Amino acid sequence: MRKHGAGDQMLLNLVKIRYGDAPVFLDIGQIVAARSLLSNVSATGTLFQFFSGPVPNAVTGSAALTAGTAYADTPTVTYAPLAGERFARQLMAPLPPAAILNVIQAGFPVDAVFRFGVQSVNGIDNRRVLLQQVKPADPHEGAPPHPGLG
Per-residue pLDDT reduced to its tens digit, 43-94: 887 776 665 556 666 666 778 889 999 999 998 988 888 878 877 887 778 8
**Rounded-to-10 torsion of CA 78, 29, 86, 102:** -60
- Range list of β-strands (E), the chain: 26-50, 59-81, 120-121, 124-125, 128-129, 134-135
Instruction: Say if CB 31 and CB 74 are below 8 A apart.
Output: no
Contact residues for 99 (Cβ-Cβ < 8 A; gap 6+): 7, 10
The pLDDT score that the predictor gives to residue 11 is: 81
Give percent of the chain with pLDDT exceeding 90.
Answer: 9
How confident is residue 21, by pLDDT bands cut at 50, 70 and 90?
Answer: confident
* Helix/strand/coil for 92: helix
Instruction: Say if CB 67 and CB 41 are below 8 A apart.
Output: yes
120-139 per-position pLDDT tens digit: 776 767 766 666 666 666 66
Q: Which residues of 134-150 are buried (b: 16+ CB within 10 A; e: fewer)?
A: eeeeeeeeeeeeeeeee
